[in-house]
């Protein structure tokens, strides 16, 4: 479940004659007043240590995102097995070329005035990168191995009542510990939980919906609690805040209550209708309230079988999913709710309905948003098991921590209706040999023990081997990463009766960059270290999106796909792993700034069935290419369209069953470039004009325009506005090749936070208030202060008409 939300009791139950309002649990989120130092101070955990000269930061925090980029950082000499490499070569930007390697210290002082002797105090970390060692008041209270795991310590014996308590956290990131940018620091929330001895365990509430009918749903709630003579009162509340059902139980089996509560006329959770209920669990001793935990959940039914594949609430459907790494582009690994929400809004418009957390535990904020906005979720655990991919990866921790990490993952998140399956790992080298089969079963059994309601998968790249060894046969869901030529054979040999495209496509492109001639190519490289946005370039192991579309559309036993990736991410700059500067990926459907690439509209034309899609590429500014062959593609939800250049028809194209590309794209391969107007007219099924779109050659850059994703923000010091900055000519036409250097300034109750242009070769730092445009655009991030008021962003550039935009913030409810 998510971190439970806690509140005091302000109501009375009619069925209980009197309630004593005892002290219930409190949660202190340690966001402010942290001190940070990058260094090796061995005494930094001591209470008397002088941290006055350390940097003041707020949590979540990623120390490495502030740079600079440096090719010498974590330079790995390695042969990447997943890329079919056999000879080790120097990889410079593999982990983003940002200074995450090293040691960092965080210190904070806090009071817990609610704390009384006899209570418990829990210190909860939702992620710490990495290998944290934690001290309270100079005493070591624990350590952990995995930087992505949620973990907690009981610090009751170490805290002081009504006095300042000092917490110190030592984090260590070593070289060759990751295959992408992992971030550095306390990048997710840290919380102090104070509760009574008679209390509900942390992550102790487990909600399932074992029976659902149109008239009634059975909600089973298992609640682990401590204390003698306690009883549990549970209410279920609908989205409007009305109480639907109440159950009181005094019966405890060991330390667990087990309640079955009826919900009449249940509203089912789905991506199309993400309806959420709330369970309020209250623990009493006599009439005295001792603890209260609030848990959101959804009522929904998932099934996987050989006849229907995957079904949600009785309806067969296929996953239209993307893989996401945890970094948020210019924010780095530091989790931010508004940035995550923006990502999901962009994906929702594309028609995406599922997310895979690649290749580690997701943030709790991401899961909350997927519950609210309607995304199914494949929650992944590891990128490695016992056999290494990188020298200092998770293999160092597997034997000691794997079970603990899985238990924490499942118990912390299993009440999220968005999660529809678990993943034990991604392309683990343990796919080879019988010992890997045993490990796969051992890990899957842990998931089953902790949550019998969801199936388990793993992303397999060694498909041939997994068919021979039995590795893939023991999984609930066989997940295939690429390997389209083996789909048929895998379907025949695996006993499950279906397969999942757990990682698909790996097409590479740079937003707004087009290369000629236009041909399909693998591992294609150019002098500018960019990839063509004609969406025909892939990696040695992968394929264009259209090839996956064919399998999804033609084979009922292929239950969906998770595309690599929804957004570009820092690190892993294939096909330029050995080139500098190249420090972020090209795989994204959207670039690192969150701006859609052309490929976005190819997926949207197939996935978004509610709205029309009509998109033309490339841009039409090709000075010096007059008379040269410049193919035009159209991505559209319509089956046919006619192309016009300066009013002259280039003919009608219709989707047909020739090549995979012909089924999903409209292509005019023999167009000769001439400046002017490029227009497409789309036709419906009856041959009538349904939509049209025009692109016009732009003149010289003239002025700046600003387009915010929203203008009203929360004055909480964390909320963000993402402002798209573009340059247009005198007629307001986008200049698609503009690379002007721009400057940014924020006034009022806001601050400049970062900028990003989506260029994977840029070495400009995100937090500096200046950046070059890339393909005519970039994005500026403006954050709020904690004071409500007006905010003004101004953007200037040499020789350009400047622009200003007003935003406002108000105190959150």
Strand partners, 271: none
For 755, residues 6+ apart whose C-beta sits below 8 A from its C-beta are 330, 744, 766, 768, 769, 770, 771, 778, 779, 780, 781
The candidate with the shortest Cα–Cα distance to 506, out of 446, 451, 455, 561, is: 561
In this structure, the strands spanning 750-756 and 777-784 are antiparallel
278 token code pair: 């709330």
CB 169 within 8 A of CB 132: yes
Helices (H) then strands (E): counts for the chain: 9, 48
Distance from C-alpha of 217 to C-alpha of 139, rounded to nearest angstrom: 49
Helical packing angle, 398-413 and 364-373, nearest 10°: 40
Rounded Cα–Cα distance for residues 212 and 232 (Å)? 24
Q: Tell me the residue length of the chain.
A: 813
Residue 703, H or E segment: strand 703-708
Smallest Cα–Cα separation from 475: which of 486, 489, 464, 459? 459
For residue 362 the two structure tokens come to: 């997701």
d(CA 243, CA 226): 26
Contact 170, 132 (CB under 8 A): yes
CA distances from 559 to 262, 268, 304, 515 (A): 32, 21, 9, 34
Contact between 346 and 590 under an 8 Å Cβ cutoff? The reply is: yes
Show the DSSP H helices in 5-141 as ranges.
none
Q: Apex CA 162: angle with CA 156 and CA 166, to 5°? A: 60
In angstroms, the Cα distances linking 11 to 18, 181, 295, 484 are 11, 48, 18, 58
CB 319 within 8 A of CB 561: yes
Catalytic residue positions, numbered:
427, 503
Alpha-helix residue ranges (DSSP H) falling in 470-571: 487-493, 545-554
Q: What angle do CA 170, 175, 181 make, to 5 degrees?
A: 85
> Strand 720-728 to strand 703-708: parallel, antiparallel, or no bridges (unpaired)?
antiparallel
The span from the CA of 125 to the CA of 720, in Å, is 24
> Nearest CA to 623 among 454, 736, 458?
736
Strand partners, 580: none
User: What DSSP state is assigned to residue 666?
Assistant: E
- 3-class SS of residue 633: strand
**Residue 741 neighbours by CB distance under 10 Å:** 13
Q: Where are the beta strands (DSSP E) in 601-701?
A: 614-617, 632-636, 640-645, 648-654, 666-668, 677-683, 689-696
Token code pair at residue 31: 């966001």
Supply 719's token pair: 């909320």
């Amino acid at each position: 479940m998510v971190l439970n939300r806690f509140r005091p009791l302000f109501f009375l139950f009619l069925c209980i004659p009197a309630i004593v309002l005892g002290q219930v649990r409190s949660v202190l989120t340690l966001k402010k007043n942290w001190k940070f130092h990058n260094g090796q101070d061995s005494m930094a955990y001591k209470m008397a240590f002088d941290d006055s000269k350390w940097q003041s930061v707020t949590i979540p925090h990623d120390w490495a995102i502030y740079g600079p980029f440096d090719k010498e950082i974590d330079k790995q000499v390695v042969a990447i097995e997943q890329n079919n490499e056999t000879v080790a070569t120097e990889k410079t930007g593999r982990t983003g070329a940002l200074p995450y390697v090293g040691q960092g210290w965080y210190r904070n002082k806090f009071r817990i005035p609610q704390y009384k002797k006899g209570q418990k105090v829990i210190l909860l970390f939702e992620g710490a990168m990495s290998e944290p060692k934690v001290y309270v008041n100079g005493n070591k209270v624990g350590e952990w191995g995995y930087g992505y795991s949620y973990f907690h310590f009981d610090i009751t014996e170490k805290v002081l009542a009504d006095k300042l308590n000092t917490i110190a956290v030592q984090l260590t990131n070593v070289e060759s510990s990751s295959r992408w940018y992992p971030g550095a620091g306390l990048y997710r929330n840290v919380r102090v939980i104070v509760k009574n001895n008679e209390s509900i365990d942390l992550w102790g509430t487990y909600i399932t919906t074992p029976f659902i009918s149109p008239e009634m749903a059975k909600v089973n709630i298992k609640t682990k609690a401590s204390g003698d003579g306690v009883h549990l009162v549970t209410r279920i509340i609908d989205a409007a805040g009305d109480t639907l059902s109440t159950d009181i139980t005094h019966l405890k089996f060991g330390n667990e209550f087990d309640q079955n509560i009826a919900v009449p006329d249940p509203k089912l959770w789905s991506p199309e209708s993400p309806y959420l209920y709330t369970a309020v669990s209250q623990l009493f001793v006599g009439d005295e309230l001792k603890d209260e935990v609030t848990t959101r959940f959804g009522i929904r039914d998932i099934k996987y079988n050989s006849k229907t594949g995957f079904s949600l609430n009785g309806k067969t459907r296929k996953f239209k999913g993307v893989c996401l790494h945890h970094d948020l582009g210019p924010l780095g690994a530091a989790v931010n709710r508004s940035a995550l929400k923006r990502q999901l809004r962009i994906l929702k418009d594309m028609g995406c309905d599922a997310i895979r957390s690649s290749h580690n535990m997701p943030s709790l904020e991401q899961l909350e948003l997927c519950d609210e906005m309607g995304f199914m979720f494949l929650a992944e655990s590891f990128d490695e098991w016992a056999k290494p991919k990188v020298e200092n990866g998770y293999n160092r921790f597997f034997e000691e921590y794997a079970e603990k990490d899985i238990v924490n993952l499942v118990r912390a998140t299993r009440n999220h209706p968005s999660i529809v399956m678990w993943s034990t790992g991604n392309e683990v080298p343990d796919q080879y040999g019988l010992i890997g089969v045993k490990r796969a079963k051992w890990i899957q059994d842990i998931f089953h023990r902790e949550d019998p309601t969801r199936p388990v998968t793993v992303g397999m790249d060694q498909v041939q081997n997994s068919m021979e060894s039995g590795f893939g046969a023991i999984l609930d869901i066989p997940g295939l990463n690429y390997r389209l030529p083996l789909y048929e054979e895998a379907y025949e040999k695996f006993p499950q009766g279906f397969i999942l495209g757990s990682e698909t496509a790996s097409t590479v492109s740079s937003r707004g960059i087009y290369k000629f001639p236009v041909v399909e190519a693998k591992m294609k490289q150019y002098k500018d270290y960019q990839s063509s946005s004609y969406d025909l370039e892939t990696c040695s192991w992968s394929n264009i999106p259209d090839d996956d579309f064919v399998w999804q559309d033609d084979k009922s036993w292929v239950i969906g796909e998770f595309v690599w990736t929804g957004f570009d991410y820092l690190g892993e700059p294939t096909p330029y792993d050995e080139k500098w500067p190249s420090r972020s990926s090209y795989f994204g459907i959207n670039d690192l700034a969150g701006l859609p690439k052309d490929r976005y509209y190819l997926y949207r034309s197939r996935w978004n069935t509610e709205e029309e899609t009509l998109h033309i590429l490339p841009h039409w500014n090709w000075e010096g290419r007059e008379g040269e062959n410049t193919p035009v593609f159209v991505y559209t939800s319509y089956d046919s369209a006619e192309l016009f250049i300066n009013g002259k028809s280039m003919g009608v194209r219709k989707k047909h069953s020739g090549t995979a590309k012909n089924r999903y794209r409209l292509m005019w391969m023999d167009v000769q470039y001439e400046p002017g107007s490029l227009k497409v007219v789309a036709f419906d099924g009856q041959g009538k004009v349904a939509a049209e779109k025009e692109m016009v050659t732009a003149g010289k850059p003239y002025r700046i325009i600003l387009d915010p994703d929203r203008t009203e923000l929360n004055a909480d010091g964390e909320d963000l506005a993402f402002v798209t900055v573009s340059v247009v000519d005198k007629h307001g036409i986008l200049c698609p090749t503009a690379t002007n250097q721009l400057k940014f300034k924020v006034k009022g109750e806001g601050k400049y936070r970062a900028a990003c242009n989506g260029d994977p070769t840029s070495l400009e730092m995100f937090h500096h208030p200046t950046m070059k445009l890339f393909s005519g655009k970039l994005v500026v991030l403006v954050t709020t202060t904690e004071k409500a008021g007006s905010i003004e962003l101004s953007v200037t550039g040499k020789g350009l008409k400047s622009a200003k935009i007003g935003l406002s913030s108000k105190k959150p409810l």
